[in-house]
Structure 1
């Protein structure tokens, strides 16, 4: 399953990061999610032009998006180098000053891979937009093995601790980025051809990427707020929260291929040369069925792991007790996540971006109010997780209602939302 090999990375890093690098993982992993707009824009544009049979535009889109990815990666490298420590200090608060040196070490090392990560995402998304998952799969498999072996050697045998975990992850990301580019080259496209976009092209990309960016930043901001409130509750709460959040990450990453499947196959059915909304609805029904089954399975496994085998993650009984308090909302949040991937992936494929950005912003606003309310009333860590449950299920119902509406992308015959300004080829 595509992206499933990321599970190894999450699992091996839990023991190193759950207590000492909570803020660091926010800056590294969650900040990377902000740039998912780049990945989504790439797969969307590539799938769109392939559906229209325009391979020259596919190459051009890849070239300009590689430039955008490289530029964003260099900017993030500079930000991490000069502002990483400041961001960690502002986020973690005075109660956790003891974790800042280790967390900053992790962030500085991981930050070296930013250009490779974002360029690799563009190349990977271009391949997925072409309905090819084997190239990205092999790249992720190799990088996961490198990451796992590096963690064991650098942390367990050489004693580099959190710095070793960061170096292992950074090197694996660089390797993955290079392999993604090579996989794209083997399909007959030049992934080393980077073109500076014109102003019109930048505006076109912004028109597609901006709503996606708003969607991703809302999601990242909500998870960051969860960690912020958990951090303010003390060391045991933030440690338990980080363990449960990492387990959730291992579970929810398994549902990401459903979103990518929708983004790869739906454009052809919704607005391609041989469009068929009936087949698109049938595909969505199959994806949601798979997602619901997967959600229940992953939720069950993910809940039983910390319930029956908590010592795998920590031997601190106070941390374990905090983990037990959130098992029910933990299950409820995971169970619906794969289905959300299906629905939001279909909305992305159908270019219903304005609705997606507005709905995500609304969910974030209501979720933030719930977090503040639960925190002020002393509900502790369970309050944070029940706010997450509301956030997830609100996303599910809003997306489902939109897709089932008569003016939604799966029923409406209006193609105006799919019209794109033809980009100039240099």
Structure 2
């Protein structure tokens, strides 16, 4: 049985699973990196405006990306269940699940945008923002909020399409919205001379377009399969309950990254600016690696829904191999081109120097990240969610202790990134053990 087999690590050049994995993973990359690409474009443009504005963007985007990440269950919590329902032959039920996820995304988006508008100032102060940096961060945050509900609609819509084994359409939407964001931003900032607020506005416009596109697509599929179109309170509550483990998991992840940003801000303005650039590169690469995790969610859910655990097992092994190879390539490229990459985001020589150091850490962590994100997708697709949540909390505690030591000893930015090494290693070891045990093959998606 697959659950009893002790896997051997003998990666092959080719596998029968390469095509289905690549068919899902390559296009999935686009939809996964949409929000980080928005922020990366903002980072590059705002870095040309000034270091204060870049520091403000760093803190505002930390708040926005944390809120976005806490609700990632709208996508990840949809892909596995919808794939499994389709594998079992219950397409109408899958379509209904997708519609209710979209309604929940809209409701949560409006509610959270309102809360961030009310409590944005104290949240930014908790991240050590003050003076002109606080003003810049608050401006970027408030202008960005109208786009947040549409961002969540896009998140939920991508989860639905991924569950249907369609990652090409999200790729088209992601590329279109990212290009629109960049073009509008360049015109407003460099063409008309507007500042930080215009950068945020460009992102909002792109997010609205993407969200509307997903609403149209999910609505069409739901109608074709006879799904109920109105909101159903019981269904949305069920989705929220099934997403609890993913919320705990993601809250721990974002808690670690947010605490890291606060520690960097306490060191100095140049340090938080360099940390912002490094973190955005790290996060973008993480989501690129997570493209294989999306394939893992969809294929694992489908194979288990079809009653093929042996196939799910074999496919999972190949996903880990492929993600690790891609991660090694990413790490090598970042290490070689770290100085030119740093120069893309700022003209400040001190920030460029610090960013080069940070990017060395980013490069070194990539092989670990490749294993971790592949395992994440496999276990999410199998519904082994509370195991993931438990060990993410443990990793957060380990990181918190290491980061607190950085503050206590007045260590520098490099040591803070050393704490991130601890975070990823504590994640990798138990996830790999879980995969080897095969127990995830008997888990169920919610």
2:436, 2:79 → 1: CA distance? 24
Moved more, 323-332 or 378-387: 323-332
**What SS does structure 2 have at the residue aligned with 1:193?**
coil
Q: How does 1:194-209 map to 2 (within 5 A)?
A: 194-198=230-234, 201-202=235-236, 204-209=238-243
Q: Which residue of 2 aligns with 1:69?
A: 105
Is residue 2:144 matched to residue 1:110?
Answer: yes
Q: Which residue of 1 aligns with 2:82?
A: 46
**CA, structure 1 residues 162+63, in 2 after alignment: closer, same or farther (shift >3 Å)?**
same
1:187-230 Cα shifts (integer Å, max 9, x gaps): 454799231222xx455324320011000000000000000000
**CA, structure 1 residues 176+260, in 2 after alignment: closer, same or farther (shift >3 Å)?**
same
Q: How does 1:21-40 map to 2 (within 5 A)?
A: 21-40=57-76
Q: Which residue of 1 aligns with 2:353?
A: 321
Q: How does 1:206-285 map to 2 (within 5 A)?
A: 206-270=240-304, 272-273=305-306, 275-285=307-317
Is residue 2:444 matched to residue 1:418?
Answer: yes
Is residue 2:403 matched to residue 1:371?
Answer: yes
Q: Which residue of 2 aligns with 1:423?
A: none
Q: Which residue of 2 aligns with 1:301?
A: 333
Q: Which residue of 2 aligns with 1:409?
A: 440
**CA, structure 1 residues 189+377, in 2 after alignment: closer, same or farther (shift >3 Å)?**
farther
Maintained 8 Å contact 2:79/2:163: yes
Maintained 8 Å contact 2:384/2:445: no
Aligned-residue offset at 1:243 = 1.4
Q: Show structure 1 runs of 5+ residues with no match.
A: 421-426
2:169, 2:357 → 1: CA distance? 41
Q: Which residue of 2 aligns with 1:383?
A: 415
Aligned-residue offset at 1:393 = 2.1
Aligned-residue offset at 1:246 = 1.7
Q: Which residue of 1 aligns with 2:43?
A: 14
1:262, 1:419 → 2: CA distance? 13
Q: Show structure 2 runs of 5+ residues with no match.
A: 1-25, 48-53
Q: Which residue of 2 aligns with 1:424?
A: none
Moved more, 208-217 or 15-24: 15-24
User: Quick one: which of 186, 190, 197 aligns to 1:156?
Assistant: 190
Higher relative contact order (CA 8 A, sep 6+): 2
Q: Which residue of 2 aligns with 1:3?
A: 29
**What SS does structure 1 have at the residue aligned with 2:193?**
coil
Aligned-residue offset at 1:186 = 4.5
1:364-396 Cα shifts (integer Å, max 9, x gaps): 111111111122123211111111111112212
**CA, structure 1 residues 8+227, in 2 after alignment: closer, same or farther (shift >3 Å)?**
closer
Q: Which residue of 1 aligns with 2:207?
A: 173
**What SS does structure 2 have at the residue aligned with 1:241?**
helix
Aligned-residue offset at 1:90 = 2.5
Q: Which residue of 1 aligns with 2:394?
A: 362
Aligned-residue offset at 1:55 = 1.8
Maintained 8 Å contact 2:252/2:392: yes
Q: Which residue of 1 aligns with 2:165?
A: 131
1:381, 1:186 → 2: CA distance? 49
2:236, 2:42 → 1: CA distance? 38
Maintained 8 Å contact 1:332/1:389: no
When the two structures are superposed, what TM-score results if normalisation uses the length of structure 1? 0.90
Count of residue correspondences: 408
**CA, structure 1 residues 192+322, in 2 after alignment: closer, same or farther (shift >3 Å)?**
farther
RMSD: 2.1
When the two structures are superposed, what TM-score results if normalisation uses the length of structure 2? 0.86
